Chains A and B, each alone.
Chain A
């Protein structure tokens, strides 16, 4: 892609982020089901070396195809502004013609991802990217959200000693398709990896999450990570599970979108009088909402017929 393509792409993403109506309704009609395309989520606590790891990943994936990365950081709760610093790690990759990198603020959206992230993925898929990487700072909730967006969720941990391991366990088990112990040159790496292997063995599904030990700063172990990522993709395709993953993503998008629309309507339309109704309790809000959603679902079945 040349800079004009990147420029157009970048501007469309901005319009999505800015809730530009025509853009959203156009992009939302693009397919999300290209099977050869792979959505990879990377999450983990701050300081785990995610950005550096992504840099290595990008460099290797870009040899196999076109890569786009979305780097999501939280907005300041006070000003709504944000400092998006993940680009620092990209270095020379920032000018690679086969890599598109975009920093996103979550704009206060709970869950740590941008509201339109799936819609942006549709756009990127349409532009012919083969690998779509979404990097988020993991802190409880957002780890779960990234798992409902990505085909493959990579959870990055750092070597832990002692009791920390137990706390690190919580919340990771369900969502990881692949575990990474980054900074594997630090003490405690082997122990942490073993603990994660135990977690992986307990996993109920057919897929047992592999554990990769990496040193992102030197690139050690990153080759293996890329191989694991692609075998997870093969596994999903071979077992007809990819479609389910994409449905999850589309469902996430739908929920986000409907909550956004409701919020916007509330802000714009709920004046004094209607607001009063909410409090006074004269209306069966439940039934009304139910009806509205029924109508929406029915309208969808008309399309599929």
Chain B
């Protein structure tokens, strides 16, 4: 049973190289990856995650808007009774922001240069923990 992942770009940032490389990597690791494209609001992302019944959401943001956008996704999931869907994130994110994001419920934060292998392993671990 393949893991289902939603890869989304919240906010207005158009740099999707990382998101697309991660999407391909997860596919090549045998997962089903739903890619939503650019300029997604947290509400759109959560709705897509619910309708697609994904196990986990990956958010990518390089514009610095992560502090407001990532936690919004987590809180909307909670509001809709879907808090079992995990959320991880990546992008240009200062180390000092990571504890706050984790506290807000983001399970993993990947910064530039993160190894693809680690990302795949982290996604697998999260989903297995869930089951």
Binds B, one of A4-12, A151-159, A183-191, A296-304: A4-12
- For B36, the chain A residues whose CB sits under 8 A away are 87-88
In the assembled complex, A134 has its CB within 8 A of some CB on chain B = no
Q: Quick one: CB contact mask for B1-13 with A, threshold 8 Å, 1 for yes? A: 1101000000000
In the assembled complex, B112 has its CB within 8 A of some CB on chain A = no
Complex Cα spacing A231 to B92, Å: 53
Complex Cα spacing A85 to B6, Å: 10
- For B50, the chain A residues whose CB sits under 8 A away are 3, 6-7, 10
Complex Cα spacing A102 to B30, Å: 19
Contact pick for A83, options B33, B48, B51, CB 8 Å: B33
In the assembled complex, A79 has its CB within 8 A of some CB on chain B = yes
- For B26, the chain A residues whose CB sits under 8 A away are 81
- Within the complex, what minimum Cβ distance (angstroms) separates A252 from chain B? 23
- For B80, the chain A residues whose CB sits under 8 A away are 3-4, 7
Interface size of A by Cβ–Cβ distance < 8 Å?
30
Interface size of B by Cβ–Cβ distance < 8 Å?
28
User: From residue 24 to 75 of chain B, which have CB atoms closer than 8 A to chain A?
Assistant: 24, 26-37, 43-44, 47-48, 50-53
Chain B: interface secondary structure? mixed
User: From residue 2 to 29 of chain A, which have CB atoms closer than 8 A to chain B?
Assistant: 3-4, 6-7, 10-11, 13-14, 17-18
Binds B, one of A59-67, A93-101, A199-207, A233-241: A93-101
In the complex, are the beta carbons of B44 and A4 less than 8 A apart? no
Complex Cα spacing A78 to B30, Å: 8
- Tell whether A7 pairs with B82 under 8 Å between CB atoms, given A81-B27, A82-B27, A88-B37: yes
- Tell whether A10 pairs with B27 under 8 Å between CB atoms, given A3-B80, A84-B33, A95-B47: no
- For B37, the chain A residues whose CB sits under 8 A away are 85, 87-88
- Within the complex, what minimum Cβ distance (angstroms) separates B99 from chain A? 30
* 9 cross-chain CB contacts under 8 A: A6-B51, A10-B52, A78-B28, A79-B30, A81-B33, A82-B33, A83-B27, A103-B32, A103-B34
3 A-B pairs with least C-beta separation: A10-B53, A88-B37, A81-B27
